[in-house]
Amino acid sequence: MQRRKFIAQSTLATASLLAPARLGCWPYAEKKLGVALVGLGNYATRQLAPALQQTQHCRLAGIVTGTPSKAESWKAQYQIPEKNIYNYNNFDEIRNNPDIDIVYVVLPNSMHAEFSIRAAKAGKHVICEKPMALNVKECEQMIAACKTAKVQLGVGYRLYYDPYHLEIRRLGTQKVHGAVKTIESSLGFSMADPKVWRLNKALGGGGAIMDLGVYCIQGARRTVGELPSAVTAQGFVRDEKVFKDIFEMVMFQMEFPGGAVSNSTTTYSSYVDRLHVTSGYQWYGLQPSYNATGASGETFEGKLNFQTPEFQQIAQLDAFAQDVLNGRTPEASGQEGMIDLKIIEAIVKAANTGKRVVLDWKGF
Ligand code: NAD
């Protein structure tokens, strides 16, 4: 116990020597980094705030909301001091608040770029929810703003830290059962309420492919450890009353340089959540795979069995906090978010034109 404590303290002490300047008050070694959640909707309420009660290296320190009643209830539930509560207008004053080290943007997709850039300009490290932005251009602006401000930028990719996903990645990239040949990687659920922002093109960016595409793309590209060289895609609308200017479902295929080919469905009309990998006669996969309620997995040899915490976000948040403390680029970096947006842009282009789109990764 004593030894573990010593190792933990000395690791943090070393980290504090390497840490960049913007970490609030000294000493860093004894401080859990303060996180402010921006946007108190479903994901912030049901997953991130509870996860932040169990993190070791960061804590829920502030909130940013446009709804005064939410400010009151969160203040009472999580003992958030009044001085750490902001709205969307006075948000930039967060620059003067040493309690906040990290701003976590959990707003509708169209607001990610604006609030991430404002957070960076306020000198705060940034975690932005997925998809990182509406397009590659916005991602570039976010990365540049964080670079200029010398703050870290991460994307809320909780599965980068999930043991089931890491195991599939190990089996695939290390070719444990031979080179990967095919991947099926799909995510969908039923959503027919036309009033939700996810179905509004301006706010959501384009329906299921924007909302769920990042998971299907990551599942495939991280299993082979490669970026796709080309994509083909097909977009469908079956319910024209609900899906007016966005695809209801997008099916897409990615070709990888090592020979693997993936096939994916993203849909807002039915439940699907699976990653299935084949290499010759061997297979392995996850079902469910991507939902925040946790993964379950199996290989041709039997069930996968990992101990997982109550919330996947605990590992994600602690990893980001440690990256900040160590001045290290996060595994789920802005660059990773931008890669997925580049692939989504190519998929949408392929779905709109019916043509195969070749991806050029020079400069990435
Ligand atoms: P939500 O609709 O439940 O919450 C959105 C929040 O933004 C609400 O508090 C709402 O009041 C606020 N908001 C501010 N301006 C708004 C506007 N103009 N229109 C609508 N809402 C506005 O959504 P959510 O499910 O919490 O998703 C928020 C973000 O988190 C999205 O980017 C989503 O993709 C992401 N998300 C990530 C995961 C994950 O597993 N990583 C899971 C769910 C959602």
Q: In this model, does residue 25 exceed pLDDT 90?
A: no
pLDDT tens digits, one per residue of 111-163: 999 999 999 999 999 999 999 999 999 999 999 999 999 999 999 999 999 99
pLDDT tens digits, one per residue of 161-198: 999 999 999 999 999 999 999 999 999 999 868 899 99
Question: What is the whole-number distance in angstroms between the Cα of residue 116 and the centre of ligand 1?
Answer: 14
Dig out the tokens for 350 from the structure.
Answer: 């392929």
pLDDT for the residue numbered 30? 56
pLDDT tens digits, one per residue of 2-11: 333 333 333 3
Mean pLDDT of 91-110: 98
pLDDT tens digits, one per residue of 73-85: 999 999 999 999 9
43 lines ligand 1 (CB under 6 A): yes
Mean pLDDT of 73-99: 98
Mean pLDDT of 303-315: 97
Alpha helix stretches (DSSP H) within the chain = 2-18, 42-43, 49-52, 68-78, 112-121, 136-149, 163-173, 201-204, 208-224, 313-326, 334-353
pLDDT for the residue numbered 191? 87
Question: What is the whole-number distance in angstroms between the Cα of residue 226 and the centre of ligand 1?
Answer: 30
Calculate what percentage of the chain has a pLDDT beyond 90: 90
pLDDT for the residue numbered 11? 34
pLDDT for the residue numbered 364? 87
Mean pLDDT of 246-267: 98
pLDDT for the residue numbered 29? 52
327 lines ligand 1 (CB under 6 A): no
Q: How crowded is residue 285: how many other Cβ atoms within 10 Å of its Cβ?
A: 25
Q: In this model, does residue 218 exceed pLDDT 70?
A: yes
Measure the CA–CA gap between 204 and 247, rounded to whole angstroms: 12
Work out the pLDDT band at 359, boundaries 50, 70, 90: very high
Q: In this model, does residue 288 exceed pLDDT 80?
A: yes
Question: What is the whole-number distance in angstroms between the Cα of residue 14 and the centre of ligand 1?
Answer: 37
Measure the CA–CA gap between 93 and 89, rounded to whole angstroms: 9
Atom of ligand 1 nearest to the CA of 109: 32
Dig out the tokens for 93 from the structure.
Answer: 């004053």
